[in-house]
Amino acid sequence: MTGATESPKYGTGLTGWAAHVGEVLSGLPAAYRRELGSNRRRAIVLTILAILAVTYPILNRFFLQGFSRNVFPLPLPDDTVVTFMMIFGIMAIGLNIVAGFAGLLDLGYVAFYALGAYTAAFLASPHFGSVSFVVLANVANGFPGIHLPFWIIVPLAVLVAGTFGALLGAPTLRLRGDYLAIVTLGFGEIVPVVFRNMADVTFNIGLGPISIVADHLNLTGGPLGINPIDAPFLPFLNIRFNASAGFAPVYLGMLLLVVGILVARNLERSRIGRAWMAIREDELAAEMMGVNTLRTKLLAFALGASFAGVAGSLQSSYLGATTSDFFQFSTSILVLIMVILGGIGNIWGVLLGAIALTYVDKTFLPYLGQQIQAIAPSFPNPAQFNFLFFGLTLVVMMRFRPEGFLPNRQRAAELTVHGLIAAEIARGEEVGVDNLGMAPPGQDEVAGDARAAETVDESEKE
C-alpha cells in the first residue's frame, strides 16, 4: 500500500532536480507538437496570442503607436498601463491562491500590496537620510538613506508580506466565511492608515541597559509618502526600469508574472493544492482525513500575501514614489473583481481578468472620458465612475456567467448546474488523453450527464 519501497523515479538533490528540469524543458517541443496534432486550432491561436503578448510592447513602440488612434477603434494601452497589467496580474494570481484555491474570502488584500511597496520604499530611498547604507545599488557610496538593489528587495518583500499574512492569518483563520472577510477587511483598512499616520513617531522603550528612543521620527512620510525610490536597475546592461524607461519595465513585470504563474501552478498541482481544494469543498472532512486545516489555510494566506508583496515592491520601485493613497479598500475590491470576472480558481482566467480590468480602468475609460468631454464638456467623466462600470459588469456576469470568462471547471460546477454537466463532459473528453495510461471510462457521456444531473437534483433537495 505504501509504494515507498520502490526505487525512486527521480534522482535526489540538485543534480536530480537539474536533470528533471532539463527533461521537462527538452520535452517541451514534443509536447507542443503533440498539442498541435491533437488540437490544432487551439494550439495555433494560443501560440499567436503568446507571441503577441510578448512582443506587444515592442510592436506598440515601433509600429502601432504612430497610427493607432486612426486605425483601431479603441486606444491601445501604453507601457505604463501594460506594466500595471503585470502588477495586477501578479496580485490577481496571488489572491486566486487565497480565494480561488483555498476558498478564503480576503477583502484586505491591498494591505500586503502596501507592505510590499513600503518595503521597497524603506530599503531603496533616501528616506532614512540619517544613515547611509548602500549595498550593490545603483547609487554612490555614502549617499544618504538605505539603498538595496531591487533583486534583493523582491525576496524581502515576499518575506515581509508573507510574514504579515501569517500573522494576520494565525488568529483569524479559525473564523469562517463572513467573519474572516470582515477581519481581513479591517486589516486592509488599518495598514494604509498606519502608513499614513506614522510620520511623527515619538517613543522611548527601555529594555534594561538598552533604550530605544525615537523623537518625532518620520517613519513613513505620512500623507506625502516616500520618494524618490530607486528604480530597479540591471547592471552591465545599464537599464533602469522606471516610468521613463519605455517598455523595459513591462518585461520586468512579465518576468515576475511568469515566475508567479509557475509558482501558483506548481502549488496547485501538489499535495498542498489538493489540500486547499479539499478544504474548500468540505473543511470538516478534510480535517478528519488528516489535513491540518489551520496550517494549510495559513499557508494559502501567507503565500497569497507574498504575491502582493512582489506586486507592491514592483509598483513603488517602478513609479519611484509611494503614498498610502495607492492602497485603498477599492484596490482590494478591484483585484477581487479581476479574480471573479476572470474565472475564480483558474490562473489564466484571473490573469485575463487582471489584464481586461486594468485596460478598462486605465485606458478605455479615460479615453471614453476624453471623447465625451470633446462632445459634451458638461457631461460627467466616466473615468470617475469606474467602479460603477465594474459593479454593473459584475452584476451582469453573475446573472449570465457567474463562473467568469475562463472558468475553473470545479468552481463552475459549484456555481451552476449547467457548469457541472459541462465540466463532466469536458472531463470525459480529457480522460481519453490522460497521461496515466489508463483506459477511458466505459460509460457513454449521455449516461454520465444524466447521472450528474441527478446528483445535482439530489443535493439541491437536501
Partner 1 sequence: MTDLASAQGSELLTGSLPDERLLVKSRRVTKQFGGLVAVNEVDFDIPRGSIVSLIGPNGAGKTTFFNMITGFYTPTAGTIDFDGQPIVTQRRNRMKGKKPHEVAELGIGRTFQNIRLFGTMTALDNVRVGANVHLRSRWWDAVVRAPRMLNEEAATLDAAMDLLRLVNLEDRAHAWARSLPYGDQRRLEIARALATRPKLLLLDEPTAGMNASETQEMTDFIRRLRTEFGLTVLLIEHDMRVVMGISDRVTVLDYGTVIAEGSPLEVRQNPRVIEAYLGRGAAEH
Please report, as ranges, the residues that interact with partner 1 according to CB under 8 A. Answer: 1-4, 6, 8-13, 16-17, 20-21, 263, 266-267, 269-275, 277-278, 281-282, 284-293, 299, 303, 409-411, 413-414, 420, 423-424, 427, 430-431, 434, 436, 438-439, 441-442, 448, 451-452, 455, 459
CB of 455 to partner 1, least distance (A): 5
202: alpha, beta or left? (left if phi > 0; alpha if psi -120 to 50): beta
CB of 429 to partner 1, least distance (A): 11
B/e letters for 193-214, b = 16+ CB within 10 Å, e = fewer, are eebbebbeeeeeeeeeeeeeee
- Closer to partner 1 by CB, 357 or 420: give it: 420
- Closer to partner 1 by CB, 213 or 259: give it: 259
| Helical spans, DSSP H, in 39-100 | 40-59, 65-71, 79-95
CB of 157 to partner 1, least distance (A): 17
Asked if residue 364 lies in contact with residue 75, where contact means CB atoms within 8 angstroms, the answer is yes
Asked if residue 98 lies in contact with residue 104, where contact means CB atoms within 8 angstroms, the answer is yes
Cβ neighbors of 367 (< 8 A, separation 6 or more) are 74, 75
Asked if residue 212 lies in contact with residue 204, where contact means CB atoms within 8 angstroms, the answer is yes
Closest by CA to 84, choosing from 301, 367, 334, is 334
- Closer to partner 1 by CB, 200 or 282: give it: 282
Give me the amino acid identity at 185: L
- Closer to partner 1 by CB, 35 or 287: give it: 287
CB of 158 to partner 1, least distance (A): 11
Helix, strand, coil percentages, rounded to 5, for the chain: 70, 5, 25
CB of 159 to partner 1, least distance (A): 13
- Dist. CA 124–CA 121, nearest whole Å: 6
- Closer to partner 1 by CB, 81 or 95: give it: 95
State the DSSP code for 360: I
CB of 418 to partner 1, least distance (A): 14
CB of 9 to partner 1, least distance (A): 5
- Dist. CA 257–CA 88, nearest whole Å: 9
CB of 440 to partner 1, least distance (A): 9
- Closer to partner 1 by CB, 270 or 330: give it: 270
- Closer to partner 1 by CB, 200 or 429: give it: 429
- Dist. CA 62–CA 385, nearest whole Å: 33
- Closer to partner 1 by CB, 17 or 63: give it: 17
Give me the amino acid identity at 353: G
CB of 451 to partner 1, least distance (A): 6
345: alpha, beta or left? (left if phi > 0; alpha if psi -120 to 50): left
- Closer to partner 1 by CB, 306 or 315: give it: 306
- Closer to partner 1 by CB, 230 or 424: give it: 424
- Dist. CA 117–CA 87, nearest whole Å: 12
In three state form, how does the secondary structure of 101-159 look?
HCCCCCCCCHHHHHHHHHHHHHHEECCCCCCEEECCCCCCCCCCEEECCHHHHHHHHHH
CB of 130 to partner 1, least distance (A): 38
Q: What is the maximal distance between C-alpha atoms in the chain?
A: 79
